[in-house]
Amino acid sequence: MIALLQRVSKAEVVVDAVTVGAIGHGLLVFLGVEACDTPVEADRLLDRLLNYRVFADADGKMNLSLGEVRGGLLLVPQFTLAADTHKGLRPSFSSAAAPAQGMSLFTHVVAQARRVYPQVEQGVFGADMKVTLTNDGPVTFWLQVGGGA
């Protein structure tokens, strides 16, 4: 399972001109599901997201997690993260999860996140989403568990 996380000052997801998820200071996380992923990988990735230290402490070092700064978490499904781009001029999605599996694992991550963290927003699986953000730093990381990790 793949997460592209960005530390943001604010982020918003709009579907059909309606805001479906928005946060202030926190993490915007694009999630990609690979065919080999299971709830085990999803849970490990969520644990890493919630505890990854990408926020500055009093000394200006990246030493604080999302919970320690009480930031928002915006989870957005993005199957294109599972693309194979190693050759050619067109991405291959052969390693990406089928839509039903992708939706199931994305829904699992959102449900688990809401169970353990108070500020969770989400995008809409399979929708044409418009995502806006103000990247703070910029700070962007690629996290991967299972699959090609």
Q: Tell whether 149 is covered by a domain.
A: no
In a domain, 121, yes or no: yes
Active site residue 101: no
Residue 34 covered by a domain = yes
Active site includes 85?
no
Length of the chain equals 149
Cβ-based neighbours of 36, under 8 Å, separated by 6 or more: 95, 146, 147
Is 55 catalytic? The answer is no
pLDDT by residue for the chain (149 residues), tens digit each? 999 999 999 999 999 999 999 999 999 999 999 999 999 999 999 999 999 999 999 999 999 999 999 999 999 999 999 998 989 999 999 889 999 999 999 999 999 999 999 999 999 999 999 999 999 999 999 999 986 55
Q: Which of 79, 122, 125, 144 is catalytic?
A: 79
* Domain residue limits at 96: 2-144
**How far is the C-alpha of 147 from the C-alpha of 20, rounded, in Å?**
30
Among 80, 85, 132, 140, the active-site one is: 80
Residue 92 resides in a domain = yes
Is residue 117 in some structural domain? yes
Give the whole-angstrom CA distance, residue 1 versus residue 82: 8
Q: Which of 6, 13, 73, 82 is nearest to 46 (CA)?
A: 73
CATH assignment of the domain containing 57: 3.50.80.10
Alpha carbons 32 and 131: distance in angstroms, whole number: 16
Q: Is residue 93 part of a domain?
A: yes
Instruction: Give me the catalytic one of 6, 78, 122, 144.
Output: 78
Backbone φ and ψ of 146, nearest 5°: 70, -160
- Look at the chain and report how many structural domains it folds into: 1
Closest CA relative to residue 3, chosen from 45, 43, 34, 50: 45
